[in-house]
Amino acid sequence: MILIYAISMKKQYTFKSCMILITCIWLIYGVSPIFAQTSEKVNMKYNAYPVYTGDDLGVRFLNEYIGVKIWSPEADSVRINLYADDQTEIASEQILFEKSENGAWSVRLPNEHIGQYYTVQAQLEKTWGAEVPDPYARAVGTNGKRGQLIDPSKINPKGWDIDWIPEMPELANILIYELHIRDFSIHPESGMKNKGKYLAFTERGTTTPKGITTGVEHLIEMGITHVHLLPTFDFLSVDESKPEQPQYNWGYDPQNYNVPEGSYSTNPADGSVRILEFKQMVKSLHDAGIRVIMDVVYNHTGRTEGLPFDELVPEYYYRQWNFGKYSNASGCGNEIASERPMVRKFMVESLKYWMEEYHIDGFRFDLMAIHDQETMREVASTLHRIRPDMLLYGEGWTADQSPLPENKRSLKKYTYKLPGIAAFSDEIRDGIKGHWSSHDSKGFVSGNTELKESVKFGIVGAIQHPDIDYKKVNNTDTAWALEPTQCIAYVSCHDNHTLYDKLKIANPEADENILRKMHILSNAIVLTSQAIPFLHAGVEFMRSKDGVENSYKSPDHINQIDWNLLAKNKEVHEAYKTLIALRKAHPAFRMGSADLVQSKLHFLETAPGVIAYHIQAPENDSWAEVVVAFNGENLRQSLPLEGKWIMAWDGNGSSELTSAGRIAIPAYSALILYRPR
């Protein structure tokens, strides 16, 4: 309209001034007619792409030959390049694929090529693209630049065929422990020999030089049921060719989705080594009675150029804005278009592969709201059909805006539309310790009484409950879970400050004794909630990252788990162990049903800085009634109680019988009382 108006005024415009004017229009309206037209044509092209329905994409090992099949509907030609190793620059052989059905291309290779390395290339508009592993690659060499022709199903540790998966009959029984593979063992005094490697999880009986239990033995003592591993697929940010150099990253920059990360193996050049050692890690944890969760990042890739998706099917796997630019809801440069049929197919088949080939017991979805709801429902139905006890949960938010319509995203508020999938509760997280991004903000455990309803919301597992005033809950104004097991209750994770660092920054006036009390109180709330509890590794002994908030690429001395803190903060560790044991012993804390929580758990009238509730325990509990109370203020409070109660826990492991009338609640403390059946 501005351009038309200018012309109508008979202004004389140079080419340069016209281009400036068009640019201004684009900046004002967010899209130019030229880009909009281009985008419309691109979308029409995507919709017209054929959908390959077979289950044989990637490399398959058949009796007489090796089959390789990729999907590249726009390609003029496709070829495979074969190499003797993962470093030689010149291919030993190049073989053209044959065009197959529905956009697929296939080639058959003699079995003599087993063990060799390969790349694939697509010729698009008469130009050959970059060499990449195929998107479905299951084995790669150093830095994931070349695939390797080996069969993962033949590379197994002893006893893999009878790998025992720990029983988990009810979701409500789950207790998650999140850790990073390198953090777990890299400390000089961890007692583990395979520092920073998968194999550290196969070592048993490890201790510090002073005899403090570390490693898997510590996890067993804690009583957790599931270990949540930060990304363990092949990622970009660590140079696997330089293992002698200290390198660190969380791994949220995917490269090859179906391959274990090489830097955690003892030989990243040989794809069979990372496969074997990953399986050894899983089996060792299973043998210890612990299930394994993978943190998966299907919402974006580490980059677009030079990776399999864009080299073989340009733009298809990624969302774009109307003007053709890649959208960035991940905050990492791109976002995966999960709603497109072949992207959805890739996600579902990839997850199924990890579950079946590597015996993975659950998946945590990074920025899950970037994925559309239909895809997440298909993921859940497919995996639960095979493993009904498979645990699925994720972050119900995005990092930035997305072109995917809001009502189609797997946002936290739509969790009720995603049966079998749970979401993190940022309500209870920020309610307990204070807002994550306001570093000096206080939470309920440090005296902020305005966050009381947010904590109560998490205690009942984000369900509808008559005792919650939803208008006073942070980050939401309504219940979003159908069942409490659709809610993950937590107060800290790898993101942002550790719990200790956050409490210390937000409460500069507090001494170590007070911080210790706040720390125990924080996860006493989580571990007695009806939601699925989630703990950050090392939180049980007040882990610190020296105040570093975003440690995704910080050095080891920031990220490592300092096992010596177990001795320094023994009181905290013992409190966590006791709380976990109480939770596991008493179904009252994990009823697992919205109906039961609504009918059997009721909050009591208390002072502003106190939360207390009564549970009429289920029939399968040895306790008949339970009262739980939390005091988040720096003053002694009291709670009226009728009849006599037994003190199960007051932070000191007390078991005294309390008199009728009132019970005292010390500052920054939690109490658990009961009456026997």
The C-alpha atoms of residue 556 and residue 639 are separated, in whole angstroms, by 46
Give the rounded distance of the alpha carbon of 108 from its chain centre: 37
Run of H or E residues at 19? helix 15-29
Residue length of the chain: 677
The CA–CA distances, whole Å, from 497 to 217, 290, 546, 668 equal 26, 27, 9, 21
Look at the block and give the residue holding tokens 């979401």. Answer: 423
User: Of residues 395, 426, 501, 625, which has the active-site annotation?
Assistant: 395
**Which residue bears the tokens 């320094």?**
568
3-state secondary structure string, 151-177?
CHHHCCCCCHHHCCCCCCCCHHHCCEE
Tokens of 610: 């106190």
Which one from 131, 203, 310, 366 is the annotated catalytic residue? 366
Residue 395 among the catalytic residues: yes
Report the greatest alpha carbon distance in the chain. 94
Give the count of alpha carbons within 13 A of 565, CB side only.
Answer: 17
Q: Burial of 554 by CB count in 10 Å (0-12 exposed, 13-18 middle, 19+ buried)? A: middle
Name, in order, each residue with C-beta under 8 angstroms of 595's C-beta and a sequence gap of 6 or more.
none
Instruction: Please give the backbone phi and psi of residue 91, each rounded to the nearest 5 degrees, phi first.
Output: -70, 140
Structure tokens at 348: 């579902």
- Residue 635: DSSP 8-state: S
336 - beta bridge partners? 318
Q: Are strands 532-536 and 487-489 parallel, antiparallel or unpaired?
A: parallel
Distance CA 112, CA 565 (A): 54
CA distance 96 to 207: 55
244 assigned to active site: no
Crossing angle of helices 271-287 and 341-358, rounded to 10°: 60
Cα atoms in the 13 Å half-sphere on the side-chain side of 152: 25
Q: Which of 289, 320, 292 is nearest to 304 (CA)?
A: 320
Q: Alpha-carbon torsion 662, 666, 669, 673, what sign?
A: negative
The catalytic residue positions are: 366, 395
